[in-house]
Amino acid sequence: MSDSGSGWYDETLHKDVAQRLRMGRVLHRDRTGLQDLVIFENPVLGRVMALDGVVQTTEGDEFVYHEMLTHVPILAHGRVRRVLIVGGGDGGMLRRCLEHKAVERVTMVEIDRSVVDLSIAHLPSISAGAFDDPRTDLVIADGCAFVKETTERFDVVIVDSTDPHGPGAVLFTEDFYAGCKARLTPGGVLVTQNGVPFLQPGELKDSHRRLGRLFGDAGFFVAPVPSYYGGFMAFGWATDDAALRRQTAEAIRPRFEAAGLTTRYYTPDIHVASFALPAFMLDALK
């Protein structure tokens, strides 16, 4: 088990390397029915939520992850009205989407209701009331089944999944990506959580191949999320409008200013720079 019993939480995502987080007060721990979930306090990162031995989010650095997976596609698109989030039980992605006042509806599909409830109870600063926003449509269901069965269309689809193990594995398949594409409006954008390429190069290659078979423009953008061990985190990017990821900061900046966003990581310059990939990632995609 990931709790060493000596006041440290040992992450078990990778076979040969690991990180340890000091565990202060444990706020909650049990099996939810689908996953082993623990929420505890850390002196540096604040409150931490982990599932099945893997850190999912922390109060200290969640803003990097959530800002980049929402503001990049929404501001690149420029006319987003409806968003679909698959996963994202902590509510951070929902919160950032709703910061865009032009967004009329955010449908969030989460497979595990208890993750939502526990996040509201123990990590309220991450969702910051987003679940009470009248534009929120929370659906407790399997995300893969939802995209196959719904007839709704969305301008942006955000896959805020766990890593491709256990319940999250299906959210990395070509079948699921095809379902997401079918739900996009013309010119819509799909973005995904795609792991840490330095330690998970296979995941990067697989996603690139699968997305590339379905979309006219498929690639990645990156950001450093301190609590996700191993360097840059990759975010999958897929759309049929290749121009969307080739916009300048000067083109993005008026949209950012008009949205009135207050951010801690995202800026229009970071937006553009995030699509410049390190050489080792480019080599992995060859």
User: Token digits for 160?
Assistant: 């805020």
Q: Among 52, 160, 175, 269, which one carries the catalytic annotation? A: 160
Query: Is 35 known to sit in a ligand binding site?
Result: yes
Residue 249: CB partners within 8 Å, gap ≥ 6?
A: 268, 269, 271, 272
Query: Is 16 known to sit in a ligand binding site?
Result: no
Query: Is 163 known to sit in a ligand binding site?
Result: yes
DSSP one-letter code for 246? G
Query: Is 142 known to sit in a ligand binding site?
Result: yes
Beta strands of the chain (E only): which ranges?
Answer: 8-10, 20-22, 26-31, 36-42, 46-51, 54-58, 82-87, 105-110, 136-140, 154-160, 184-193, 217-224, 232-239
> Which residues sit opposite 8 in a β-bridge?
22
Cβ-contact 26, 39 below 8 angstroms: yes
Query: Is 160 known to sit in a ligand binding site?
Result: yes
d(C-alpha 8, C-alpha 4), whole Å: 6
Q: Print burial letters for 15-44: b (CB count within 10 Å at least 16), e (below 16).
A: eeeeeebebeeebeeeeeeebbbbbbbbee
Residue 160 known to be catalytic: yes
User: Token digits for 65?
Assistant: 């992850």
Query: Is 143 known to sit in a ligand binding site?
Result: yes
Alpha carbon 119 to chain centroid, angstroms: 16
Query: Is 66 known to sit in a ligand binding site?
Result: yes
Measure Cα distances from 40 to 160, 225, 241 in Å.
Answer: 21, 19, 42
Measure Cα distances from 36 to 39, 62, 119, 127, 167 in Å.
Answer: 10, 21, 14, 21, 12
Annotated binding site for S-methyl-5'-thioadenosine: 35, 110, 142-143, 167
Annotated binding site for spermidine: 66, 90, 160-163
Annotated binding site: 35, 66, 90, 110, 142-143, 160-163, 167
**Residues annotated as catalytic (active site), given as ranges:** 160
